[in-house]
Amino acid sequence: MNRTLYVLLAATFISSACSNDKPSAKNNQEAKPMMNNFETIELKKDNPLVKLKLAGTLEADQETELYAKVNSYVQKINVDIGSTVTAGQVLIVLEAPEIQSQLASAKSKWMAQEAIYRATKSNYDRMFKANETEGAVAKDALDQITAKKLADEAQLASAKSVYLELQSIQNYLTIRAPFSGVITDRNVDLGAYVSPMGKGADKPLLVIQNVNKLRLSLSVPEANTPYLHLGDTVKFRVRSIPQKMYMAKITRKTGALDSKLRSEKIEADFINMNNTLKPLMVAEATIPLKNTEPTFFVPKTALLDANMGMYIIRVENGKTKKVPVTRGRMMADKVEVFGELMEGEQILVKGSEEIEDGTSIKK
């Protein structure tokens, strides 16, 4: 009997402990209203100057890689890395003896063909002069001399064309600067064999850049593209000179979005005084974004991005209502939104995905 009493007491103790661990349904119902205390804010339109910060790259306004056009050897190099050059300046002189030999041969053939043509034309002129006297020259003779003149004239044109073609190829042996700038790379030495194909074409002979003017290249997110215009000022810093601020003007816009980043590329020109900045420097740019009319800005905590899309929570007669919106410009603590919104409406300052439509809100 004592054993049975002990079992009953143990069962009673365990049941009491379990009932103390689990909260009652009444307690749950009393805790739930505590979630209904939320702060609201009134919607008002505003038109602040929003500053967009982006990372960009400085690029040379002009950059060209110079290659050999014909098979040849490097005879002379007039520049090196860092050399400042002007448009048309001779940079490299190449040598191709076989081209020079072919050019001399072509010139000789041209001169010889020209002598033949002159003799034929002289006979042609004399016969047509004599033909002024009726019956002095047979018609067959006139036809033959006319045909010979035309044939010799065609041969002369062909010989001249071959010579001019070889002469243009010889001009490729002199490599000149296409524009004024600085030599930034050199991959050839005296006596080196160069060609337009094969080993000699793996790298350019020289690289020339115009660094007097630089392009600041930026990729602007889709939501911010409507606020950018040609002529707008962009302020930027570079990491190597963080204490100084530079300014550039937006000069070009692609007018299309990148398929991967969904952004528009813009370029701002910068006059590089004293060549202080270098191409490929990383720039931290600040672009002012100003709208033409006021719009709604809400706290960032009010905007929710869920599976169903972006929305804010409006309070109507003490009840919640999800309002779909799209996002625009962003500030430090606020974000621009567009949707079926009206001034004076109340929205939750801090939204939550757990709040369903029709939830009672206590201020």
Identify the pLDDT of residue 363. Answer: 60
Identify the pLDDT of residue 200. Answer: 58
6-15: average pLDDT: 45
In the predicted structure, residue 11 carries a pLDDT above the cut 50: no
Q: What percentage of the chain's residues is helix, strand, coil (to nearest 5)? A: 30, 40, 30
Identify the pLDDT of residue 47. Answer: 85
Joined tokens for residue 271: 């006059």
Span of 58-62, 206-210, 263-267, 350-354 with lowest mean pLDDT: 350-354
Mean predicted lDDT score pLDDT of the chain: 83
**Confidence label for 152 from pLDDT (cuts 50, 70 and 90):** confident
Q: What is d(CA 351, CA 321) in angstroms, rounded to the nearest whole number? A: 11
Joined tokens for residue 153: 């004239």
pLDDT per residue over 206-243, tens digit each?
999 999 999 999 999 888 888 888 988 999 999 889 89
Does the domain at residues 52-60+210-289 carry the CATH identifier 2.40.30.170?
A: yes
Q: Closest Cα to residue 85, out of 211, 170, 250?
A: 211
Distance from CA of residue 300 to its chain's centroid? 31
pLDDT per residue over 15-39, tens digit each?
444 444 444 444 444 443 434 457 8
In the predicted structure, residue 146 carries a pLDDT above the cut 80: yes
Distance from CA of residue 159 to its chain's centroid? 48
Identify the pLDDT of residue 97. Answer: 79
Joined tokens for residue 39: 């702060």
Give the number of other CB atoms < 10 A from CB of residue 304.
19
pLDDT per residue over 122-145, tens digit each?
888 877 777 767 766 777 777 788
Span of 15-24, 59-68, 167-176, 277-286 with lowest mean pLDDT: 15-24
Identify the pLDDT of residue 78. Answer: 95
CA atoms 168, 172, 177, 179: torsion sign: positive
**Confidence label for 9 from pLDDT (cuts 50, 70 and 90):** very low
At the topology level, CATH places domain 64-94+176-207 in OB fold (Dihydrolipoamide Acetyltransferase, E2P) (2.40.50)
Identify the pLDDT of residue 15. Answer: 47
Identify the pLDDT of residue 96. Answer: 84
Q: Closest Cα to residue 97, out of 105, 89, 109?
A: 105
Write down the H helix ranges in 131-262: 139-171
Identify the pLDDT of residue 24. Answer: 45
Whether the CB-CB separation of 179 and 57 falls below 8 Å is answered with no
Residue boundaries of the structural domains of the chain = 52-60+210-289, 64-94+176-207, 97-172, 294-360
Does the domain at residues 294-360 carry the CATH identifier 2.40.420.20?
A: yes
The SS3 of residue 302 is: helix
Q: Closest Cα to residue 49, out of 264, 294, 236?
A: 294
Write down the H helix ranges in the chain: 2-21, 25-31, 97-130, 139-171
pLDDT per residue over 250-261, tens digit each?
999 998 998 888
Whole-angstrom CA distances from 321 to 6, 88, 131, 306, 311 are 59, 71, 108, 15, 10
Percent of the chain with pLDDT over 90: 37
pLDDT per residue over 41-97, tens digit each?
899 988 888 888 999 999 999 999 999 888 889 999 999 999 999 999 999 999 887
Identify the pLDDT of residue 142. Answer: 76
Span of 10-14, 308-312, 334-338 with lowest mean pLDDT: 10-14
Query: 139-171 and 97-130 helices cross at what angle (nearest 10)?
Result: 160
